Structure 1
Amino acid sequence: MRRLGFVQQKIPCVFVTDVREEPSRKRQCQHFQVVATERMNPVALEANVDCSLATEKLDGTCCYVTLYKGQPFLWARLDRKPNKHAERRFKKHQHAHRSCHGFTWNVEEDFKTVPDAWIPAHKVKHVDGFPVPDEHGHIPGWVPVEKDNKQYCWHSSVVDYQVGQALVLGPSADDKDELEITAVSLADLQEQTLELIGTNINGNAYGLGSKKQPIHFLVSHGGICIRNPPPVEFQQLCSWFQKSPEGKVEGIVWHCPDGTLVKIHRHHLGLRWPEDDTCLGNTPVVVRVPENGTNDAHDNNMLAFFLALNGRRFSRLRDVQLEP
């Protein structure tokens, strides 16, 4: 069986894209918009996208589970970006050539420093021992989420290294129409990528928790399948996103038979995001975080709170509230 849930690089759009000189709907202060044309991306055609598995593209921040100091650890996405001087040179080149091709980086001098524990993402190219930036001028990478790092406090809230578990949202094993909140061993998540979603992530598109009592989960990439997805055709996708209740998602990621990933984002189609009501936020959910003999070791995090809700069902994910 093909293993899903491994996102280390930018995923290309399922359609060929075009750049328009208009304010971005997705990023503030970006004065251009990347839009999909109706022409299929050759990468998608070669990967046989019509035989792929369609999964929900989630609006959060990317994470990775791999070893750190000899134990499975949660890592946060941290792209190494150019310093101000190099960024100006890069943008000047892009504006003059309407392309990043032909620009030369000095990786030793052009990029901001990163923590000592930082590692480049898989498949990042190296030249003379140095990682090479992608077409956006970034070097994708990861940094371990340590408990004392306030920058990653919401990442820390969903893991407990003492018991080696993470709080994960995924499909219920008992009911295909229901989600499940559960504790998963970090060892079982090793070498997977996941999305962190919740109250304090990307404007909280799914309406989770509150300022007083924030709620966050990890969701394995490829973990939320789209039921009865539309054909991979421009007009039918536009219609599905606008008219179908299942279309109230940020986008779709297709997992092709050869492992290739391609995506479509609502902004590629000129559609608004976030929606007032999302498909994920309206899905019923059950909590299954049972005592296992080690729960008394839980720190004051999401796992400890959800232990008190074990067995509870909520009619919508957005209705989940933690016990005081």
Structure 2
Amino acid sequence: MPRGSVQQKISCVFVTQVKDEPSCKREQQMFKVLATETLHPLAQSAAIDSALATEKVDGTCCYVTTHKGLPYLWARYDRKPTKQAEKRFKKYIHSKGNSKDFAWNVDEDFKVVPDFWIPAKGVKQSNGKLYPDENGHIPGWVPVENGNKQYCWHSSAIDYTLGVALVLKPKIEDPESLEICLVHLSNLLEQTLELIGTNINGNPYGIGNKKNPIHLLVPHGTFLIKDLAALDHNSLMSWFEHCEEGKVEGIVWHCKDGSLFKLHRHHLGLHWPLNDTHLNSKPVSIRLDLCKYEGDSSTLLGRFSKKDTQSYDRLKDILLD
């Protein structure tokens, strides 16, 4: 079954409700978005019961597509409204409660985007102009250029000269183990991935350290969930709380029609990150096949090349110097 590309915000698999309580997911957010026990109607129509369930990995979303005629890594960059427009939008939401009816002036209400910015696939258009989503953002991407400090952690996981990316995935001969390997960017074209590591989202997997940071790419849909509970609120709550495989940020379902649905621990009022995660319960080996590579110890790839063929009990145990 094909695994969907994450271009847009993914809906929760259950109908959600907003509660006026401080969020445990985002600081300064004075409300929670919680899952009800009602399955989302769109999930039902997309045959969610036969969908492929995968682990939702906690990182920042990336995309591989061409730039300057070559396969490039792109970072998520949403076009956001100006302060004035955002204030008007929030005031409308507070009084009306429905973002769909808000009248945007697309030409004037949004900030200028960087050079080479492209909209995400599926962005709505009205009268030939890009139109924001329900959060008032226009999802999009910018290419990760060498030397751009804003995306230095993205850059560390790729090498454009070799045309490769550092990827974390299940080991081919033993899917219960992990491997860090090199994948040609050309083999990742039009895929979305998650960048995880030391300086991403508080590093929930404990990868690397501040002195020697480690950042890796994980293609979306990489880690299959084999023994998922029944698709109902109570069963999934129990799965997250009591199963080793449930020590994850969330679940993403990939439906046969390309639809994606998710369930985050926070949708169930459960804590994340955890001290121990399912991803960190697996042994991991490094297999780079760098016979033609002259390791530059100033780069992440060069430091990994010194550890080629080594194995570790967990991701947390990998230390590069």
Please give the range of the TM-score, normalised by the shorter of the 2 chains. Answer: over 0.9
**Structure 1 equivalent of residue 80 of structure 2:** 81
- Write out per-residue CA displacement over residues 238-267 of structure 1, whole angstroms, 9 at most, x where no aligned residue: 001111111110000011122111000000
**Structure 1 equivalent of residue 303 of structure 2:** 305
Q: Using the alignment, how far apart are the partners of 1:155 and 1:142 within structure 2?
A: 13
**Structure 1 equivalent of residue 168 of structure 2:** 169
SS at match of 2:210: coil
**Structure 1 equivalent of residue 151 of structure 2:** 152
| Matched pairs, number | 321
CA separation of 1:297/1:71 partners in 2, compared to 1, >3 Å: closer, same or farther? farther
Q: Using the alignment, how far apart are the partners of 1:282 and 1:305 within structure 2?
A: 24
Greater alpha carbon shift after TM alignment, 224-233 vs 85-94 = 224-233
Partner AA of 1:106 in structure 2: N
User: 1:21 and 2:20 equivalent?
Assistant: yes
| 2:4–2:259 CA contact under 8 A, matched in 1 | no
**Alignment of structure 1 residues 136-285 onto 2, 5 Å:** 136-285=135-284
**Structure 1 equivalent of residue 64 of structure 2:** 65
Q: Using the alignment, how far apart are the partners of 1:122 and 1:299 within structure 2?
A: 38
Partner AA of 2:318 in structure 1: V
SS at match of 2:95: helix
What's the CA shift for 1:321?
Answer: 1.3
Greater alpha carbon shift after TM alignment, 190-199 vs 313-322 = 313-322
SS at match of 1:272: coil
Partner AA of 2:301 in structure 1: L
**Structure 1 equivalent of residue 114 of structure 2:** 115
Partner AA of 2:3 in structure 1: L
User: 1:31 and 2:9 equivalent?
Assistant: no
Q: Using the alignment, how far apart are the partners of 2:184 and 2:239 within structure 1?
A: 36
| 2:296–2:303 CA contact under 8 A, matched in 1 | no
SS at match of 1:180: strand
| 1:55–1:222 CA contact under 8 A, matched in 2 | yes
| 1:163–1:297 CA contact under 8 A, matched in 2 | no
- Write out per-residue CA displacement over residues 143-173 of structure 1, whole angstroms, 9 at most, x where no aligned residue: 0000111000000000000010000000110
SS at match of 1:296: coil
Greater alpha carbon shift after TM alignment, 56-65 vs 310-319 = 310-319
What's the CA shift for 1:191?
Answer: 0.5
**Structure 2 equivalent of residue 128 of structure 1:** 127
**Structure 2 equivalent of residue 316 of structure 1:** 314
- Write out per-residue CA displacement over residues 17-70 of structure 1, whole angstroms, 9 at most, x where no aligned residue: 011112112111212211100000011111111111110001100000000000
Q: Using the alignment, how far apart are the partners of 1:254 and 1:3 within structure 2?
A: 11
Greater alpha carbon shift after TM alignment, 300-309 vs 278-287 = 300-309
SS at match of 1:304: helix
SS at match of 2:169: strand
Q: Using the alignment, how far apart are the partners of 1:317 and 1:309 within structure 2?
A: 13
Q: Using the alignment, how far apart are the partners of 1:105 and 1:299 within structure 2?
A: 50
Q: Using the alignment, how far apart are the partners of 2:317 and 2:60 within structure 1?
A: 22
Partner AA of 1:300 in structure 2: S
Identical aligned pairs, as a percentage?
A: 56
| 2:295–2:301 CA contact under 8 A, matched in 1 | no
| 2:2–2:256 CA contact under 8 A, matched in 1 | no
- Write out per-residue CA displacement over residues 259-304 of structure 1, whole angstroms, 9 at most, x where no aligned residue: 11100000000000001111112211111001242x1276832222
Length-normalised TM-score, structure 2: 0.97
SS at match of 1:237: helix
Partner AA of 2:314 in structure 1: R
Length-normalised TM-score, structure 1: 0.97
